[in-house]
Structure 1
């Protein structure tokens, strides 16, 4: 199991890349894998062999415009982790914040 965060965009002179990014996000959503999109990255969860083809397809869709393409990928590879880490990882942090459970004392 792994969590991947990636950002893909054409390297063009235009200010807006939203149409190309929207196509990449559509491909991720149609994959059926757990995912979310923020202003900076799209996150997707699954096994390495099922996620990487989705990232490649999203990148290929953006590159179809014929421009150079920028791709940034970050992976949190979690052997033996149960599915659902895309949400539970955030929940654990929020729980710590809500209970005031801080690992380091403030100075």
Structure 2
């Protein structure tokens, strides 16, 4: 399965930043050894149900140290028997775009 999740404390530092709390969560994810990717808004994680949910739980607990309340947003793609989909899905998308004559990754116009 692949899980995309975002976790943050409901309270933040005086400047409104939650980066220290998010860094604590991402540290848990990276130390898990599972395939993962972090973007500006979500962290994606791939593995079987129990190991992925354990990492999400521990990442959430790491964020809880930064506030009295935690917000967790989670989306899952559950496909038993599939692995390598964290990169595979993106590779198939890029191939489809290339076949359509679309722009290469990272070259989309900014608005």
Shift of 1:66: 3.5
Name 2:18's counterpart in structure 1: 17
TM-score, scaled relative to structure 1 = 0.88
Question: What is the DSSP-based 3-state SS (H/G/I as helix, E as strand, rest coil) of the residue aligned with 2:3?
Answer: strand
Distance 1:78 1:5, change over 3 A: same
Q: Which runs of 5+ in 2 are unaligned?
A: 102-111
CA distance, structure 2, for counterparts of residue 13 and residue 57 of structure 1:
20
Name 1:95's counterpart in structure 2: 95
Shift of 1:97: 0.2
Shift of 1:73: 0.6
Shift of 1:67: 2.1
Name 2:85's counterpart in structure 1: 85
Alignment of 1:1-107 (within 5 A): 2-14=1-13, 15-81=16-82, 83-100=83-100
The worse-fitting range, judged by mean Cα deviation, of 48-57 and 92-101 is: 92-101
User: What count of residue pairs does the alignment treat as equivalent?
Assistant: 100
CA distance, structure 2, for counterparts of residue 87 and residue 13 of structure 1:
33
4+ residue runs over 2 A deviation: none
Give CA-to-partner distance per residue, 1:35-92, whole Å, 9 cap, x none.
Answer: 00000100000000111010000000100124211001100000221x2100010000
Give CA-to-partner distance per residue, 1:7-35, whole Å, 9 cap, x none.
Answer: 00001154100000001000000000000
